[in-house]
Amino acid sequence: MRNKITNGFQIVQDLIKLRWVPEILKSIDMGNKQYSQILKSIPYLSHTELNRKLNVLVEKRVIERVEEGSNIRYSLLNFGEDLVHIFYHLEDIEVKYCKIS
């Protein structure tokens, strides 16, 4: 049992620690499904970095890339939805317990 918990935590931690991943997943969750929408919604994120992170997230089966004619859109898979839930929960914990005075 402990090994499953450790492995699961390691998988999630590896994704969370990647720069821009939380912002990208939250952007997709908020309805920004196209590349240009995601890029526009995240200040200071470069084209190169967005491409890299989208490829990692597709490879890790966090999001899916769907081609509809000439349009490409991204959507969260179940794993991505669970990660976004974790991100929102971490924000709630920050607001509740980490107030800066």
19-54: b or e for each residue (b if 16 or more CB lie within 10 Å)? ebbbbbbbbbbeebbebebbbebbeebeeeebeebb
* pLDDT tens column, 44-74: 999 999 999 999 999 999 999 999 899 999 9
**R_g of the chain computed on alpha carbons:** 15
Total residue count of the chain as it appears in this document: 101
* pTM, two decimal places: 0.86
* pLDDT tens column, 9-50: 787 888 878 899 999 999 999 999 999 999 999 999 999 999
User: Class of the 2-97 domain?
Assistant: mainly alpha
Domain boundaries, the chain: 2-97
User: What element of type H or E holds 63?
Assistant: strand 63-68
Residue 13 is predicted with a pLDDT of 82
